[in-house]
A and B are shown apart, each in its own frame.
Chain A
Amino acid sequence: AQSVTQLDSHVSVSEGTPVLLRCNYSSSYSPSLFWYVQHPNKGLQLLLKYTSAATLVKGINGFEAEFKKSETSFHLTKPSAHMSDAAEYFCVVNTNRDDKIIFGKGTRLHILP
């Protein structure tokens, strides 16, 4: 069975410092992995996705994520946080086999001035 775990429900960083949002997955097959962002009172928006090409994936707004099969991780990073990054972030896995999609519980990112 597939699953996805976002290790932190809340993360706080100061503006201008690096961001790390952690995601681990479990999948019997080669997965597709996504990160979505949700700003307050808005729908979700795709940040980036991994689909078995390059393991380092670059997304919008300076975010990137690295697929590490040995660690079953897909952590989201950004070198320098901006106030506009304050939002909730969802890690998502799809096994490409049984056509199921699983959303993580979300990590709320707070940016301190």
Chain B
Amino acid sequence: DAGVIQSPRHEVTEMGQEVTLRCKPISGHNSLFWYRQTMMRGLELLIYFNNNVPIDDSGMPEDRFSAKMPNASFSTLKIQPSEPRDSAVYFCASSLVSGVGDTQYFGPGTRLTVL
């Protein structure tokens, strides 16, 4: 298996622009997670899905952030409009068992820079 796939690997954009990050989980996995990593705040869980349904989005910073999972093999995290403070590495992870208690397999991350 190719593992969790994220695209793009790097994104540089200007403040106010829309940004869309993409994730393909491992085939057969039932949960998908979006994380943000910064030096100041460490690793934060933004949202996770079980069987394509959003379960906990309490970590989503504000309404500018939205996430969707239209099917079992694809998810997006959108930021609109983007701000410089959104600059971070965004990770997607998936797990076989539903919920947060199982081993998570992380993608390589998307490094976002908002100028």
Contact = CB atoms under 8 A, between A and B. Distances in A.
Contacts of A34: 103
Interface of A: 32, 34, 36, 41-46, 49, 51, 90, 94, 96, 99-101, 103-106
Contacts of A99: 55-56, 99-101
Given A32-B101, A96-B101, A99-B56, A43 B91 contact: yes
* Most chain A C-beta atoms within 10 Å of own C-beta, residue among B43, B44, B106: B43
Contacts of B105: 46
B113 interface: no
A43 to B, nearest CB: 3
A65 to B, nearest CB: 15
A101 B100 contact: yes
B107 interface: yes
